Amino acid sequence: MKTRAAVAFEAKKPLEIVEVDLEGPKAGEVLVEIKATGICHTDAYTLDGLDSEGIFPSILGHEGAGIIREIGVGVTSVKAGDHVIPLYTPECRQCKSCLSQKTNLCTAIRATQGKGVMPDGTSRFSYKGKPIYHYMGCSTFSNFTVLPEIAVAKIREDAPFDKSCYIGCGVTTGVGAVVNTAKVEPGSNVVVFGLGGIGLNVIQGAKMAGADKIIGVDVNDSKEEWGRRFGMTHFVNPKKITGDIVPHLVTLTDGGADYTFDCTGNTTVMRQALEACHRGWGTSIIIGVAEAGKEIATRPFQLVTGRNWRGTAFGGARGRTDVPKIVDWYMNGKIQIDPMITHTLKLEDINKGFDLMHEGKSIRSVVVF
Ligand code: NAD
Ligand code: AHE
Ligand code: ZN
């Protein structure tokens, strides 16, 4: 079949809207009509050529929601007509990682996913006879896409696609980092670095968990109002204080934070986030994705004296199990999504969504098909 898609033909070039060819689902795969997709900073990072796994030409996008239109041979867990959220972290429930119950990082299809192909080693997308690669196993910047059955979460049918798509990455990552990875306890002091599409969800997760001080840090002053809207109690712009941010935060938290979260992808900020943790027990969670080649550093003494450095992908969520529950949280009003969707765009205007992100003018842009 033919489908309209925004194709990343080359790094650092705008996406091009073209009609691509899409092969139907093979065994164990499903065809999904994408109804809406968010634009996450990770898409921009890959498009900007900063992802060591970035492959071109490819169809980016990993924060979608849609409807199953066709199933391949042997598919049993979903059927045509089901509403689903594609999962860049699948859940096979059979691999060593899934069975361990210690991680959400299912390994069933990770190797082929990282190479931009389906589990059989080939792409379903092509343009003018040449393959176009998949991205993060999702490629939600296409009106239709093919996914392995283990990489879709079936969700309730009354959830609006233009909001629930955000659960495909940003919401689950931010809220999940708090509840699944950090397991923030009531009364904790929390510092969130970077108040964008992820950081604001960390803030709403921390508020939900009953955190006491929720301190937001951002170089963009316009983010203060955004943070306060979701439960932030203090705001710090590191450019506007005298002296170093770390002692400033340590003083503000009476010795250091119980939990800090990096939602910037900046390795200098990651170090600050670790060092702003309380001696003896503070835990810093890295969410941000750093540019290829970047490394983190600190004095080992920071860890010797009891600070913990951890990371999280997709908020530690097991997609097929946890995503439907997060959709319920949204539908029941336990978490907010609507105000964070600052821009709704047509596919033709998708590059505008990237511009708004880089200019710091959006929280989330969503493309509706
Ligand atoms: P975003 O662009 O919406 O937000 C980033 C925010 O960080 C902005 O408000 C920006 O002003 C702020 N910022 C930038 N540099 C800063 C600095 N030096 N100090 C303080 N604040 C700074 O991006 P997003 O969509 O929220 O994504 C945030 C990061 O999380 C990205 O690196 C993205 O790739 C990553 N991410 C990771 C996962 C995961 O599973 N680990 C999932 C989604 C996104
Ligand atoms: N490909 C990059 C790493 C990118 C990365 O860390 N991705 C996160 C999700 S970001 C969503 O917006 C992730 O899930 N990581 C775990 C995994 O298995 O990819 C690189 O550095 O090579
Ligand atoms: Zn993302």
Does the annotation mark 106 as catalytic?
yes
Task: Fill in the amino acid letter for 134.
Answer: H
Does the annotation mark 124 as catalytic?
no
Does the annotation mark 268 as catalytic?
no
Report whether 17 contacts 350 (CB < 8 A).
yes
Q: Residues with beta carbon < 5 A to ion ligand 3?
A: 40, 42, 169
With a 6 Å cutoff on the Cβ, whether 106 touches ligand 2 is: no
Report whether 285 contacts 260 (CB < 8 A).
yes
Structure tokens at 327: 């959709």
Structure tokens at 85: 């959220």
**Sites in the chain below the pLDDT cut of 50:** none
| Residue with the two structure tokens 């490819």 | 58
CATH number of 172-313: 3.40.50.720
Q: In the chain, what are the domain boundaries? A: 2-168+337-368, 172-313
Q: Quick one: pLDDT at residue 211? A: 98
Q: How many CB atoms lie within 10 A of CB 50?
A: 19
Q: Quick one: pLDDT at residue 340? A: 98
Give the bridge partners for 366, in sequence order: 38, 344
Q: Quick one: pLDDT at residue 254? A: 97
Q: How many CB atoms lie within 10 A of CB 275?
A: 21
Question: Using CA atoms, how far apart are residues 162 and 141, in angstroms rounded to an integer?
Answer: 14
Q: Quick one: pLDDT at residue 345? A: 98
Report the nearest atom of ligand 2 relative to the CA of 52.
Answer: 22
The reply to whether domains 2-168+337-368 and 172-313 share a CATH topology is: no
Report whether 161 contacts 187 (CB < 8 A).
no
Give the bridge partners for 27, in sequence order: none
Give the bridge partners for 66, in sequence order: 34, 84
Catalytic entry in 41, 134, 271, 320: 41
| ipTM of this complex prediction, to 2 decimal places | 0.99
Query: How far, rounded to the nearest angstrom, does the alpha carbon of residue 20 sit from its chain's CA centroid?
Result: 26
Does the annotation mark 63 as catalytic?
yes
Name the CATH topology of 2-168+337-368.
Quinone Oxidoreductase; Chain A, domain 1 (3.90.180)
Q: pLDDT tens, 23-78? A: 999 999 999 999 999 999 999 999 999 999 999 999 999 999 999 999 999 999 99
Q: Ligand 1 — pocket residues by CB below 6 A?
A: 40-42, 45, 169, 173, 193-199, 217-220, 223, 238, 263-266, 269, 287-289, 312-314, 357, 360
Q: Quick one: pLDDT at residue 100? A: 98
